[in-house]
Amino acid sequence: MNRSAEEWRSHLTEEEHRVLRENGTERPHTSELNAEWRDGVYTCKGCGKELFESPSKFNAECGWPSFDREAPEANITQIVDRSHGMVRIEVRCSGCDSHLGHVFPDGPTETGTRYCINGVCLTFQPTEG
């Protein structure tokens, strides 16, 4: 998705822009999606591409929505992030190249994976019915 910097600023709130486009991090425990447990799909706030499904969400008690796997048709790219004196795996939307969060090999489920995602980067679409 090709948008100019001005188009991104008009499409996103200031906080959304800071996190999605400037690789920021929202404050922990501030996302309403931490308490979202209905069935549905989590999509990218920047472009609407599917990222995660509700069965993969779990409470990691880390302050951000956490998932143990990507949706089957997920639009996620993983890249090495060497910022802040650490080596981590950054998670980005492959549809619009927005920063989403990071993935860690410390998840409590059978996947052993914890996608720690900024809630401000997500839109939740509940399953009808």
Active-site residues, by number, are 116
Give the DSSP per-residue string, 78-98.
EEEE-GGG--EEEEEETTT--
Which CA distances in Å does 58 have to 29, 34, 121? Answer: 14, 9, 17
Contact 98, 20 (CB under 8 A): yes
